[in-house]
């Protein structure tokens, strides 16, 4: 059992801390938002993530998981301190590292014995060096410490599953001293542990996310060719994906990727490369294809419905992907904003993300939030699918056809069976099929 402190209780920090406690470690989670800490202490959970709701109370009750707003309390009560604070983008695409720097200074100021300080946030290569310099500078007690890079690869919506069963764990170090302790932390998860230098560990994270984004843009580019030739992008992806060297995952064409990671990490990686003297044009093209994909989808809607002003559209999905309440950089929200700008009137539904969406798209004359997916299309001119929630595919299609004033469906996530939709008499437009 290790004594661990996690600083930051966002999607990464909270799920990581909880899963560490689940396997038996002693975990204290720190957040500077006292309100959030109070909520967590009272059993509330600030995010939706499948499995988390049962795990947090179980581990709190077992005395393995606790919450505080004091970094000093967290650091002094543990041997390993994980930093999981936000690294938001700046207007020029580079990463704002001020939260990391601030936390590093605070940790340094309250260390009274040897600590391992682990960066879990996604950061540009060479950040570990800066963190080490900062800690050295503000380390009043002059105690020993090691800095480790341990990037996180969890997907939102599958965070618990990904953390409990990781494909691999990456541990970047500058000395052998912290390796054994890190191995002990991850040993219960049974995944291969890759021990490397810090710069490589930091690069692995940006390289992996950018490659996954590249795969999606590749599929989206293929969808254009499929539409031009009558081929089917799903069949093409299946045919490619069975090749073990390629793999089927992240080859789903749609309205483009979003979320708080891929768009940000791509921009950051392009910027990092630029600062290192390399023009990463390949990744710039990934961005271009991604935004063109949304443009093409909106055009598909307006080409079919012609004038969008005062057209009533039902929209299924607001989250940036299935299984999450997260709407940050959500393609679904972007799509709604574009449709509203064209003058459309929207009825929207999402199983988990409506509360968070309301902060960006306040309900009003032009946008109504409905409580059930079955009601979203009532009296609408067409239905639009914007997020790949599995439940949406279970919609009663005959009822849907009766609810729509014209049986038109724009499926931005290819969730319905094309032949079935056509057999039922829908004018059905999906992506690359
Ligand atoms: C992503 C990575 O998958 C994680 O490994 C990583 O840890 C995380 O970023 C992070 O850096 O924190 P996440 O952003 O939670 O995870 O979600 P993904 O499942 O990767 O989906 C990202 C976007 O791509 C979504 O908008 C999704 O709809 C879209 N997508 C995904 C597609 O359009 N097609 C696909 O085939 C797959």
Alpha-carbon distance of 366 to 381, in angstroms, equals 14
- In the chain, the number of structural domains is 2
| Pair (153, 273) in one structural domain | no
pLDDT surpasses 90 at 363: yes
Predicted structure pTM score: 0.96
| Residue ending a domain, choose from 134, 158, 191 | 191
**How is residue 115 annotated by DSSP?**
E
What is the per-residue pLDDT across 371-424, written as a single tens digit (0 to 9) for each? Answer: 999 999 999 999 999 999 999 999 999 999 999 999 999 999 999 999 999 999
| Pair (91, 39) in one structural domain | yes
What is the per-residue pLDDT across 249-277, written as a single tens digit (0 to 9) for each? Answer: 999 999 999 999 999 999 999 999 999 99
| Pair (228, 186) in one structural domain | no
| Pair (275, 323) in one structural domain | yes
Using the mean position of ligand 1's atoms as its centre, give its distance from the Cα of residue 149 in Å: 21
> 198 lies in a domain?
no
| Pair (173, 52) in one structural domain | yes
Q: Which residues contact 393 (CB under 8 A, 6 or more apart)?
A: 415, 416
| Pair (102, 161) in one structural domain | yes
Protein residue with its CA nearest to atom 5 in ligand 1: 153
Q: How many CB atoms are located within 10 Å of the residue 248 CB?
A: 13
Q: What is the CA radius of gyration of the chain?
A: 23
> 201 lies in a domain?
no
Using the mean position of ligand 1's atoms as its centre, give its distance from the Cα of residue 381 in Å: 31
Catalytic residue among 110, 226, 261, 336: 261
Q: Is the CB of 322 under 6 A from ligand 1?
A: no
Give the nearest ligand 1 atom to 208 CA. 5
The predicted model gives 120-146 an average pLDDT of 96
> 196 lies in a domain?
no
pLDDT surpasses 90 at 140: no
Using the mean position of ligand 1's atoms as its centre, give its distance from the Cα of residue 155 in Å: 6
Using the mean position of ligand 1's atoms as its centre, give its distance from the Cα of residue 241 in Å: 18
Question: Which of the listed residues 212, 255, 293, 322 should we mutate to test ligand 1's pocket, taking the one with most ligand atoms within 8 A of CB?
Answer: 212
19 catalytic? Reply is: no
Alpha-carbon distance of 135 to 117, in angstroms, equals 9
Confidence of residue 23 (pLDDT cuts 50, 70, 90): very high
Q: At what angle do helices 281-305 and 198-229 cross, to 10 degrees?
A: 40
| Pair (167, 225) in one structural domain | no
Polymer length in residues for the chain: 433
Using the mean position of ligand 1's atoms as its centre, give its distance from the Cα of residue 318 in Å: 15
| Pair (130, 268) in one structural domain | no
| Residue ending a domain, choose from 191, 223, 240 | 191
| Pair (181, 225) in one structural domain | no
Q: Average per-residue pLDDT in the chain? A: 97
> 197 lies in a domain?
no
> 204 lies in a domain?
no
- Alpha carbon of 86 to those of 62, 171, 358: distances in Å? 29, 20, 23
What is the per-residue pLDDT across 317-334, written as a single tens digit (0 to 9) for each? Answer: 999 999 999 999 999 999
> 183 lies in a domain?
yes
| Pair (305, 176) in one structural domain | no
Q: State the CATH number of the domain containing residue 225.
A: 3.40.50.720
What is the per-residue pLDDT across 88-115, written as a single tens digit (0 to 9) for each? Answer: 999 998 999 999 999 999 999 999 999 9
pLDDT surpasses 90 at 81: yes
Give the domain extent around 102. 3-191
Q: Is the CB of 250 under 6 A from ligand 1?
A: yes
Question: Which of the listed residues 16, 211, 216 should we mutate to test ligand 1's pocket, taking the one with most ligand atoms within 8 A of CB?
Answer: 216
What is the per-residue pLDDT across 178-223, written as a single tens digit (0 to 9) for each? Answer: 999 999 999 999 999 999 999 999 999 999 999 999 999 999 999 9
> 242 lies in a domain?
yes
Determine contact, residues 47/24, Cβ cutoff 8 Å.
Answer: no
What pLDDT is attached to residue 123? 97
pLDDT surpasses 90 at 57: yes
Protein residue with its CA nearest to atom 29 in ligand 1: 257
The predicted model gives 297-318 an average pLDDT of 97
For the record, the structure tokens of 263 come out as 């768009």
| Pair (100, 156) in one structural domain | yes
| Pair (416, 384) in one structural domain | yes
> 127 lies in a domain?
yes
Q: Percent of the chain at pLDDT above 70?
A: 100
């Amino acid at each position: 059992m290790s004594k661990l402190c996690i600083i930051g209780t966002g999607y990464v920090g909270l799920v990581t801390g909880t899963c560490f406690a689940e396997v038996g470690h002693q975990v204290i989670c720190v957040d500077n938002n006292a309100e959030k800490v109070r909520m967590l202490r009272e059993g509330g959970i600030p995010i939706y993530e499948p499995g988390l709701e049962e795990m947090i109370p179980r581990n709190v009750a077992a005395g393995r998981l606790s919450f505080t707003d004091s970094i000093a309390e967290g650091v002094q009560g543990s041997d390993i301190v994980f930093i999981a604070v936000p690294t938001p983008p700046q207007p020029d695409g580079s990463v704002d590292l001020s939260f990391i720097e601030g936390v590093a200074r605070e940790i340094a100021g309250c260390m009274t014995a040897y600590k391992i300080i682990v960066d879990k946030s996604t950061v540009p290569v060479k950040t570990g060096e800066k963190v080490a310099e900062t800690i050295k500078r503000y380390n009043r007690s002059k105690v020993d410490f090691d800095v480790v890079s341990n990037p996180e690869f969890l997907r939102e919506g599958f965070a618990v599953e990904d953390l409990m069963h990781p494909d691999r764990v990456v541990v970047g170090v500058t000395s052998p001293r912290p390796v054994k302790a890190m191995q002990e932390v991850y040993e219960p998860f049974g995944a291969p542990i890759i021990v490397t230098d810090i710069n490589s560990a930091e690069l692995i994270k940006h390289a992996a996310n950018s490659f996954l984004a590249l795969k999606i843009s590749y599929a989206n580019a293929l969808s254009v060719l499929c539409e031009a030739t009558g081929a089917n992008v799903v069949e093409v992806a299946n045919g490619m994906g069975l090749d073990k060297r390629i793999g089927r995952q992240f080859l789903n064409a749609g309205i483009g990727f979003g979320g708080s990671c891929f768009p940000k990490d791509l921009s950051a990686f392009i910027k990092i490369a630029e600062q290192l003297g390399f023009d990463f044009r390949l990744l710039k093209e990934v961005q271009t294809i991604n935004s063109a994909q949304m443009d093409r989808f909106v055009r598909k809607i307006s080409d079919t419905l012609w004038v969008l002003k005062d057209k009533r559209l039902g929209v299924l999905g607001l989250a940036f992907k299935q299984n999450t309440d997260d709407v940050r950089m959500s393609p679904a929200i972007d799509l709604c904003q574009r449709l509203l700008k064209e003058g459309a009137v929207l009825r929207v539904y999402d199983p988990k993300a409506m509360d968070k969406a309301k902060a960006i798209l306040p309900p009003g004359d032009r946008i109504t939030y409905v409580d059930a997916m079955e009601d979203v299309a009532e009296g609408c001119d067409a239905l639009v699918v914007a997020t790949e929630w599995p439940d949406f595919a279970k919609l009663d299609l005959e009822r849907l056809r009766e609810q729509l004033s014209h049986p038109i469906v724009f499926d931005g996530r290819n969730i319905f069976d094309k032949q079935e939709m056509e057999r039922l008499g829908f004018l059905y437009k999906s992506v690359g099929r």
